[in-house]
Structure 1
Amino acid sequence: MSHPMLLVIGSGPRPMRSYLLEQTAAHYPQLLINDTPLTWQKPYVIDHEVADLSDPIAVNAAAASLAVRRPIAGVVTWDEYYLMTVARLAQSLGGRPGNTLAAVAAARDKATSRQRFAAAGVPSAASTWVHTLDAAASAAERVDYPVVLKPAAHAGGIGVVRVGTITDLPTAWSIASAGAAHQGPEGDGVLVEEYLDGPEVSVETVTHRGVTSAVAVTRTSVGFDPYFMETEHSVTADDPLLYKVSPVAAAALEAVGITHGVSHVEIRLTKDGPKVIEVNARLGGDLIGELVRLATGISLPLASAALACGEIPDLRPTRQRSAVIGMIYPPTAGLVTHRDLLPGNDHHLEHFQWLCDVGDVATLTPSSTTPNNIRCGFAVVSGDSAHDTQQHLDEVLGRVVVEVTSEAQRAA
């Protein structure tokens, strides 16, 4: 008799997502519904179907076909845009473990999230939901500059921009509204929000039957003002900051109704205390789950699989270390003509990955449809402490060479 299997919706791109399938496949036979035929995913998947992941009817049909051939114990995704699909599938497959549709919709739609935060007394940014530039201008005047514009139901920083003055608003509105035009169906329009000044962190949580455990805190660096492009994430076991921010993260999850799964709660540490940026009812991107494993020994992908299959995840830490990922961005916009990692000490280097090739066009302006399109690569290092790990990362990034020829140089 076949073992019950985990159904995964969407593998995502290999550089950032292969560790998810790899870690879960070691304990759970996996089925995959993907939007392209299998390539690198083959070693981790028992059976699969190809379907348009943006079409819930097509995904349901693919899941039904798999269910005829294989016993499905649970369903999971690590992609923000398929959370509603997974919630529906969990119900249609005979009540598999998962969040309610209402809870997932509230997490996806940041306007609804803000309303629920306010009702529950969870500290977050003042926010107004708008659909026109004039309404955005009025809201910004009430909140007072600087403000942040963001699509109501996007992810990956798409369309999110800081606005310093009313003079900057029209340009910022064109960026945010372009992002909003491509956001998920769970929300529409743009939020005009109070700018939360202070360091950014995220709390990586596991919620089982409504009880949330905070596993790790991720310290995040952002750059490229007025955008919020993430440049580094770092995780250290037993970071004392975790005990300060975990109650806020748990309250935010409860406010939107999340009772199940691995979540990624983004927070800013303001002068008035921690304030919630947003709740993501899935594992954090940018290899954050891998940083957690390297630092603590806890596998968040495996925890999400266990929960999806109705089991209690193992959250016992087995490491006391630190890990950090540093993003590699181009020095300027233009054509990538050379890239290299010069020889050096790779003892602490866990992963190194190029995301650009020679001949690619590099930009310094985020796309309205694709997150992080300006990255050239990333490096992941580990160490015994946050200080040591940062030094190791700086050494590796100091050996990275990316040469770009600008349009002006090519025209000369």
Structure 2
Amino acid sequence: MSVRPLVLVVAPGDEEYRGYCLEQVADAYDVAVITTGPLTWETPYVVDHETVSDFGDVDGLITAAEAIAGRRPIAGVLTWNESHLTAVARLAEHLALAVTSVESVLTCRDKAAGRAAFARHGVPSARSITATSLDEALAAADEIGFPVVVKPGAVGGSIGVIKAEKREDLAAAYAFAARGVQLHGGDNASVLVEEYLDGEEVSVECVTVQGVTTAVAVTHKELGPEPLFEEVGHTLSALDPLLETVAPIAAAAVKATGVSGGIQHVEMRLTATGPRVIEVNGRIGGDWIGWAAWQATGLSLPRIAADIATGTTPDLTPTRGQSVAIKVLYTPQSGTLTKRSIVPGFAETAGWVHGPAWLMNAGDQVLLPPDGDLDSSRVGLFATYADTLDLAVARRTATANHITVTTSGPGAEDQ
């Protein structure tokens, strides 16, 4: 029998987005998983497995985890799935394996609670008012002043997030955010009306061990056109000079939420008055941001998360100095996906392309925002890397020029 500690991963997700996470944890630990169905892509990385019908059913998670623990002791519990953070925190608490409190996880998941925590602790953020009706949203926007951002109280992935430039825009914005709440739920079923923060959006990738937070990387986000906030790309470089500026603010934001352990993805805007925090997410960033941090710095956030979950002090010494550029692939218009391809052999010959990972197949229906969201609009993603950011971005452009993504319908164009 293996002598490596056993880490329980709840909701490992899909291979395209999160495969690297499970692979990197399995490099250092034996892994058991809880899923809602039979193992597929996870099989090579897993030594034990149980299923549940619903990840939100804490009693079901406890039953599954105890079945695994009956066969072999569990050293740590973790998830990188935003939707299941609260349930997994309750599971870890039941198993006496928690590295942070359920209350702190709830504070991160509930954006209104997070804003209130930032205000109490003097963390620069945005003014935010909860609204449970259009009338309340209108009153909140008038009080804050236009433009405002309207968003679900506890939904990730920029789903339901929209800017309202003026009062006449607010009814449609509120309906858009409320639809995001209805479709995706969350720990807060309200809509928030918030002060609009102008400036570049970044995320700070953080590691917290026993209440001490270390910022290890900065991700520069590339957004689609307003009024939406769709993330269409990211760049991340080792030794980014911005890290020194944003690190203490990110650490203060994490402390304000009460989080004492784990990985945090702290989003902020670089405004004219300085960095201001949008939210603290108690997980590894999506869109391959964790992979980008590893490629650029050599620090494996999934491995570090497992270290923290098992009570092992992680090594946060960077071992690489590269830059990564990520592109999310969208079609030019909604419709039936007719083609998605990369020139054969290009990525293999180049040697600096990661992916592409395809999220849709020919024949699938694509529905772009505002009618759809990231689950219905993203066809795939890829990343490029180099010793400098300029070269990584240039390689991303070159790779995009070798990719074709088309939909049926009049006016369809290659992307």
Fold similarity call, TM over 0.5: yes
Mapping of residues 63-142 of structure 1, within 5 Å: 63-93=65-95, 95-142=96-143
- Secondary structure at the aligned position of 2:377 is classed as coil
Kept after mapping to 1: 8 A contact 2:152/2:191: yes
Mapping of residues 184-333 of structure 1, within 5 Å: 184-333=185-334
Q: CA RMSD for the aligned pairs?
A: 1.6
For 1:56, the equivalent position in structure 2 comes to 58
Kept after mapping to 1: 8 A contact 2:155/2:186: no
Amino acid at match of 1:99: T
Q: Cα deviation per residue 1:26-50 (whole Å; 9 max; x = unaligned)?
A: 1100010111210110011111111
Give, in angstroms, the shift of residue 223 of structure 1.
Answer: 0.5
For normalisation by structure 1, the TM-score amounts to 0.95
Which has the higher mean CA deviation after the structures are superposed, 59-68 or 175-184? 175-184
Q: Aligned match of 2:388 in 385, 388, 401? A: 385
For 1:355, the equivalent position in structure 2 comes to 359
In the aligned structure 2, how far is the partner of 1:28 from the partner of 1:9?
15
Q: Cα deviation per residue 1:96-127 (whole Å; 9 max; x = unaligned)?
A: 14211111111110101111101111000110
Kept after mapping to 2: 8 A contact 1:32/1:47: yes
Q: Cα deviation per residue 1:256-300 (whole Å; 9 max; x = unaligned)?
A: 101100110001000110000100011111111100011011100
Displaced runs of 4 or more, over 6 A: none
In the aligned structure 1, how far is the partner of 2:103 from the partner of 2:109?
10
Kept after mapping to 1: 8 A contact 2:76/2:310: yes
Kept after mapping to 2: 8 A contact 1:366/1:372: no
In the aligned structure 2, how far is the partner of 1:63 from the partner of 1:304?
19
Amino acid at match of 2:379: C
Kept after mapping to 2: 8 A contact 1:366/1:374: no
Q: Cα deviation per residue 1:208-260 (whole Å; 9 max; x = unaligned)?
A: 00001111000110104221110111110000001110111000000010110
In the aligned structure 2, how far is the partner of 1:141 from the partner of 1:65?
54
Which has the higher mean CA deviation after the structures are superposed, 183-192 or 9-18? 183-192
Give, in angstroms, the shift of residue 182 of structure 1.
Answer: 3.9
The percentage of counterpart residues that share the same residue type is: 43
In the aligned structure 1, how far is the partner of 2:393 from the partner of 2:57?
43
Give, in angstroms, the shift of residue 342 of structure 1.
Answer: 2.6
In the aligned structure 1, how far is the partner of 2:226 from the partner of 2:13?
28
In the aligned structure 1, how far is the partner of 2:338 from the partner of 2:2?
52
Amino acid at match of 2:126: A
- Secondary structure at the aligned position of 2:32 is classed as strand
In the aligned structure 2, how far is the partner of 1:308 from the partner of 1:397?
38
Which has the higher mean CA deviation after the structures are superposed, 358-367 or 290-299? 358-367
In structure 1, runs of 5+ residues without a counterpart are none
Kept after mapping to 1: 8 A contact 2:140/2:193: yes
Give, in angstroms, the shift of residue 372 of structure 1.
Answer: 4.2
Q: Aligned match of 2:378 in 375, 378, 396? A: 375
In structure 2, runs of 5+ residues without a counterpart are none
Amino acid at match of 1:46: V
For normalisation by structure 2, the TM-score amounts to 0.95
- Secondary structure at the aligned position of 1:401 is classed as strand
In the aligned structure 1, how far is the partner of 2:58 from the partner of 2:91?
9
